[in-house]
Structure 1
Amino acid sequence: MVDAFVRPARPDDAVAVARLQLATWRIAYAQVIPATVLDALEEDEVAAQWHSAIVEPPTPRHRLLVAYEGAEIVGFAAIGPASGEDLVGPGYASEAPTAAGEWDATALLVNTLLVEPRWGRRGHGSRLLAAVADLARQQGFTRAVAWVLEADQATRSLLESTGWAPDGVGRVLDMDGTEVAEIRLVTDLTPADPQ
């Protein structure tokens, strides 16, 4: 049986997380994100950003979780409170209104969820999402949102298979002059009524 698990990231994970992110983006998003953007990403800079996110997160509720198979990091999830900008649109006004740059107390943002393609379909994404939901509930979040590239069917399928759904809100990112569409998926984190 393969040893597979999820744990909070440690500072020495930053290089492996950066390497995994860049490899995954360059494979999975090559037809979506302009080559100029992908080529400009330097592993050292990305690793430094992840190191900072681990040791000096914006809030104590921001976390980076890593998925392992054996001794290798195969995926990760970056999470934290959603901002007011993440909750625009009908039905998702914050219960505790946030000013620009402030964080919502009840809505979690799954900022990044990646599993390296060669490790896909082995349960790592589901383990990451289960760990995210457990941690979110422990921290008092009652709902979660994720912005997903419209062309990213793998992430969308994973989220939808675990109860997430598009809420009809989208946005367009400008990536070096190329418009890249994202959709928002949401889920309820309140525990089911045991009846």
Structure 2
Amino acid sequence: MQAPRVQLRAAGVGDAVAIASVQCDAWRAGYAGIMPSQVLEVMSVDDCANRWRAALAKPGRGCYKVAVCDGQIVAFATYGPARDHGFEGAELVALNVLPEFWRQGLGRELLVRIIAELKTAYSSLYLWVARDNIGARRFYETQGFTVSGQEKQHPEHGNIVETCYRLCLQSPS
């Protein structure tokens, strides 16, 4: 299936509500049965939008991108230098797509564009994915990511176990 035609652009503070809406919808659909239901139930677009406004007002070293299709933000990605102690390279912090756009190639298209951008400055890319999120794990594996063996738990995510995936961004010599 061909990905919908999208424009990828930098996110701004004015995008906070749309990004929060994508995040809430994507998390509720993608983490149902994985993340504790009370975590998903208390998520609100207003609370998420406030956090996004703060993050977008002072983005630091990270990049915040949105995918726009027919004037609507349908996905977003956050990435930048490694945030975890002892990790090198770049980190894909988030890549969320509205559920109605899943399995249309949009996530793959966004990831390909992000990887192309990161290749100019980094030799590797890592991300964390919920260990029980089989769909997301398959997606990243089909894009060339491999399990690194590291795991962690994040209290804000209901202490679900997250598995680290890595991708080499340099061509073998």
| TM-score tier (shorter) | 0.7 to 0.9
| Counterpart mapping for 1:3-152 below 5 A | 3-59=5-61, 62-85=62-85, 87=87, 94=88, 107-138=89-120, 140-152=121-133
The runs of 4+ residues in structure 1 deviating greater than 3 Å are: 173-176
Name the SS of the counterpart of 2:111 in structure 1: helix
- Deviation of 1:53 (Å): 2.1
Aligned length: 171
Give the number of the structure whose alpha-carbon radius of gyration is greater. Answer: 1
Structure 1 stretch 76-85 or stretch 160-169: which is displaced more?
A: 76-85
Structure 1 stretch 76-85 or stretch 142-151: which is displaced more?
A: 76-85
- Normalising by structure 2, report the TM-score: 0.87
The answer for unaligned runs of 5 or more in structure 1 is 88-93, 95-106
Partners of 1:157 and 1:4 lie apart in 2 by: 23
Partner of 1:155: 136
Identity rate of aligned residues, in percent? Answer: 26
Structure 2 vs 1, CA of residues 86 and 73 (structure 1 numbering), >3 Å: closer, same or farther? farther
- Deviation of 1:86 (Å): 6.5
Structure 2 vs 1, CA of residues 30 and 164 (structure 1 numbering), >3 Å: closer, same or farther? same
Structure 2 vs 1, CA of residues 34 and 158 (structure 1 numbering), >3 Å: closer, same or farther? same
Partners of 1:86 and 1:11 lie apart in 2 by: 31
The answer for unaligned runs of 5 or more in structure 2 is none
Partners of 1:74 and 1:113 lie apart in 2 by: 11
Q: Compute the RMSD of aligned alpha carbons.
A: 2.1
Structure 2 vs 1, CA of residues 172 and 77 (structure 1 numbering), >3 Å: closer, same or farther? same
Partners of 2:91 and 2:135 lie apart in 1 by: 19
Structure 2 vs 1, CA of residues 125 and 192 (structure 1 numbering), >3 Å: closer, same or farther? farther
Structure 2 vs 1, CA of residues 29 and 16 (structure 1 numbering), >3 Å: closer, same or farther? same
Supply the AA of the counterpart residue of 1:166: V
Matched, 1:183 2:163: yes
1:44-100 residue CA offsets vs partner (Å, 9 max, x unmatched):
2211221222231132xx01111222222221111121124372xxxxxx4xxxxxx
- Deviation of 1:192 (Å): 5.7
